[in-house]
Amino acid sequence: MEVRGVPLRKGQWIFLFLASALRDPAAFDRPDQFDIHRDLSQSIAFGSGAHFCGGSALARLELNIAVGTLIKRYPNIKLLSEPEFEAHPLLRAMTKLEVSL
Protein backbone atom coordinates (compact mmCIF):
# COMPACT_ATOMS: atom_id res chain seq x y z
CA MET A 1 0.00 0.00 0.00
CA GLU A 2 1.15 3.54 -0.66
CA VAL A 3 0.03 6.68 1.20
CA ARG A 4 0.95 10.00 -0.42
CA GLY A 5 3.93 8.48 -2.16
CA VAL A 6 5.22 6.62 0.90
CA PRO A 7 5.17 2.81 0.60
CA LEU A 8 3.85 0.90 3.61
CA ARG A 9 4.64 -2.80 4.05
CA LYS A 10 2.27 -5.35 5.56
CA GLY A 11 2.82 -5.48 9.32
CA GLN A 12 4.75 -2.20 9.37
CA TRP A 13 3.98 0.11 12.28
CA ILE A 14 2.78 3.63 11.59
CA PHE A 15 2.22 6.42 14.07
CA LEU A 16 -0.48 9.07 13.76
CA PHE A 17 0.87 12.32 15.16
CA LEU A 18 -2.15 13.83 16.96
CA ALA A 19 -0.36 17.12 17.65
CA SER A 20 -0.46 17.89 13.94
CA ALA A 21 -4.26 17.60 13.70
CA LEU A 22 -5.94 20.58 12.01
CA ARG A 23 -2.54 22.15 11.25
CA ASP A 24 -2.14 21.23 7.59
CA PRO A 25 -0.75 24.23 5.66
CA ALA A 26 -2.37 22.86 2.49
CA ALA A 27 -5.79 23.14 4.17
CA PHE A 28 -5.42 26.25 6.37
CA ASP A 29 -3.92 29.67 5.61
CA ARG A 30 -2.32 30.04 9.04
CA PRO A 31 -2.26 26.51 10.48
CA ASP A 32 -0.39 27.42 13.68
CA GLN A 33 -2.54 30.45 14.55
CA PHE A 34 -5.47 30.08 16.94
CA ASP A 35 -8.66 30.94 15.03
CA ILE A 36 -12.01 30.21 16.64
CA HIS A 37 -13.71 30.98 13.30
CA ARG A 38 -11.70 28.41 11.31
CA ASP A 39 -13.89 26.30 9.01
CA LEU A 40 -13.57 22.74 10.27
CA SER A 41 -16.40 21.31 8.20
CA GLN A 42 -14.00 19.00 6.38
CA SER A 43 -12.41 17.72 9.59
CA ILE A 44 -12.31 13.97 10.18
CA ALA A 45 -11.72 14.44 13.92
CA PHE A 46 -14.60 12.13 14.82
CA GLY A 47 -13.79 9.53 12.16
CA SER A 48 -16.19 8.44 9.45
CA GLY A 49 -18.41 5.61 8.32
CA ALA A 50 -18.49 2.57 10.60
CA HIS A 51 -15.73 4.15 12.68
CA PHE A 52 -17.59 7.40 13.38
CA CYS A 53 -17.37 8.39 17.05
CA GLY A 54 -20.54 7.57 18.94
CA GLY A 55 -19.81 10.33 21.44
CA SER A 56 -19.40 13.09 18.85
CA ALA A 57 -22.86 14.57 19.46
CA LEU A 58 -22.17 14.75 23.21
CA ALA A 59 -18.74 16.34 22.63
CA ARG A 60 -20.25 18.98 20.34
CA LEU A 61 -23.06 19.66 22.83
CA GLU A 62 -20.58 20.05 25.70
CA LEU A 63 -18.46 22.45 23.66
CA ASN A 64 -21.53 24.45 22.62
CA ILE A 65 -22.68 24.75 26.26
CA ALA A 66 -19.21 25.64 27.57
CA VAL A 67 -18.43 28.28 24.94
CA GLY A 68 -22.00 29.61 24.95
CA THR A 69 -21.95 30.01 28.74
CA LEU A 70 -18.54 31.70 28.62
CA ILE A 71 -19.70 34.21 25.99
CA LYS A 72 -23.00 34.91 27.79
CA ARG A 73 -21.20 35.47 31.09
CA TYR A 74 -18.38 37.53 29.54
CA PRO A 75 -19.74 39.13 26.35
CA ASN A 76 -16.68 41.39 25.97
CA ILE A 77 -14.09 38.62 26.27
CA LYS A 78 -11.01 39.34 24.14
CA LEU A 79 -7.89 37.37 23.32
CA LEU A 80 -4.88 39.35 24.62
CA SER A 81 -2.10 37.31 23.03
CA GLU A 82 -1.57 34.20 20.98
CA PRO A 83 -1.91 31.01 23.05
CA GLU A 84 1.30 29.25 24.02
CA PHE A 85 1.83 25.52 23.73
CA GLU A 86 4.40 23.24 25.31
CA ALA A 87 6.43 20.77 23.32
CA HIS A 88 4.82 17.35 23.70
CA PRO A 89 5.42 14.22 21.62
CA LEU A 90 1.74 13.28 21.31
CA LEU A 91 -0.55 16.25 21.93
CA ARG A 92 -0.77 20.03 21.61
CA ALA A 93 -0.79 21.07 25.26
CA MET A 94 -1.82 24.69 25.77
CA THR A 95 0.12 26.29 28.61
CA LYS A 96 -1.06 29.88 28.36
CA LEU A 97 -4.25 31.59 27.14
CA GLU A 98 -4.50 35.24 28.12
CA VAL A 99 -7.92 36.85 27.84
CA SER A 100 -9.56 40.01 29.07
CA LEU A 101 -13.01 39.54 30.59
pLDDT given for residue 62 in this prediction: 95
Please name the residues in contact with 98: beta carbons below 8 A apart, sequence gap of 6 or more.
Answer: 79, 80, 81
- pLDDT tens for each residue of 40-85: 777 777 777 787 888 889 998 999 999 999 999 999 999 999 999 8
pLDDT of residue 43: 73
Expressed as residue numbers, the domain containing 91 is 2-100
Count of domains in the chain?
1
98 in Cβ contact with 80 (< 8 Å): yes
Secondary structure of the chain in HEC code, one letter for each residue: CEECCEECCCCCCCCCCHHHCCCCCCCCCCCCCCCCCCCCCCCCCCCCHHHCCCCHHHHHHHHHHHHHHHHHHCCCCEECCCCEEECCCCCCEEEECCEEC
Phi-psi region of 28 (alpha: psi -120 to 50; beta: other; left: phi over 0): beta
